[in-house]
Amino acid sequence: MKCTHIIQTIAVLLTFIISFYGKSLLDAFWSCSLSSPYLRIGYFYLWWALPPILLLATCWSLRKTPDCLGLNRSPKTGLVVALICTAPMWLGGASAGQIATPIDWTALLHQTFIAGFFEEYLFRGFLFGLLFRKLKWGFLPAALMGSFFFGLGHLYQGATTAETVGIFLITALGALWFSWLYIEWDANLWVPIFLHSLMNFSWAFFDTSHNALGDLYANLLRTLTIAISIILTFFYHHDRGRYINKNNLLINSSEAKVP
């Protein structure tokens, strides 16, 4: 690995840690009391958004930031893919007829589209995306790094040890899946953003579960969504070859084709 890549890798990892844990560390010394829920949400995600942008602007230029993250790709493609893939969750949830009431629209928006966007922005676009696409990590090392922290970020949902372990595993595996989709759809971050957001929205709107584990019926619908996304992705690449292969699975070799 080139010296420049080593320095940039350290900078990316440190910036991610600052973004992910910065607010919690600051709260230990100084608590920012904001009365408005919108201000609290904005303050929380400012920690996730600002440090990565500053690093990207320093290392790759501000103008190239959307390309580095995959945000300059087609949002329409991401939305269409997500709507097709999440159809089982929406149809299954509607057939069960169990809508969460009363609906707290601020909380619902936060848990779905806002969280979906920023989690993909930080974990997939920034951490995984830069390690794999710019710093030449192999797909598995880069994706596992992101999935580990993604799983840690959901541990608060567990009430028991078994439940906590289950939540960690299912969210970490979900992160691997989102990373795969992100790359195979030409590094289009809007694909995992919309898919993540619509899955969360269905999960919350139909009152599927109080955490990421879900029951047997909910997980059947989620499995169908994952299966459709895999089939659709393979169909998308049927005549052009996939990006993730032996040339970049463990080590990103010079022969690897990375979007």
Write the pLDDT tens digit of every residue in 67-79: 999 999 999 999 9
Mean pLDDT confidence for 241-249: 87
Q: What is the structure's pLDDT at 97? A: 63
User: What are the b/e assignments for 11-45, b being 16+ CB within 10 Å?
Assistant: ebeebbebbbebbeeeeeeeeeeeeeeeeebeeeb
Q: How many domains does the chain have?
A: 1
Do residues 178 and 129 touch, judged by C-beta distance below 8 A? no
> Does residue 178 lie within any of the structural domains?
yes
Query: What pLDDT does 135 receive?
Result: 93
Would 20 be classed as within a structural domain?
no
How many C-beta neighbours within 10 Å does residue 199 have?
Answer: 23
**pLDDT for 164-213, tens place per residue?**
999 999 999 999 999 999 999 999 999 999 999 999 998 888 876 666 77
Instruction: For the chain, report the end-to-end CA distance as a whole number of angstroms.
Output: 20
The answer to whether residue 53 is domain-embedded is: no
193, part of any domain:
yes
Whether 96 is covered by a domain: the verdict is yes
* Confidence at residue 215, expressed as pLDDT on a 0 to 100 scale: 76
Residue 137 region by backbone torsions, left for phi larger than 0, else alpha for psi between -120 and 50, else beta: beta
Asked if residue 16 is part of any domain, the answer here is: no
CA distances in angstroms from 7 to 3, 68, 117, 235, listed in the order given: 6, 17, 28, 38
Which residue range(s) make up the domain with 157?
64-236
**Residue 246 maps to a domain:** no
Using an 8 Å Cβ cutoff, are 228 and 88 in contact? Answer: yes
CB count, 10 Å around CB of 102? 5
Peptide bond into 102 cis (omega under 30): yes
Rounded (5°) CA angle 46-177-67: 50
Q: What tens digit of pLDDT does each residue of 100-147 get?
A: 677 788 888 998 999 999 999 999 999 999 999 999 899 999 999 999
Q: What percent of the chain has pLDDT over 70?
A: 95
From the list 50, 60, 30, the residue with the least C-alpha distance to 118 is 50
pLDDT at 105: 83
| pLDDT tens digits, 12-61 | 999 999 999 988 888 777 666 777 888 888 989 999 999 999 999 999 99
pTM greater than 0.85 (yes/no): yes
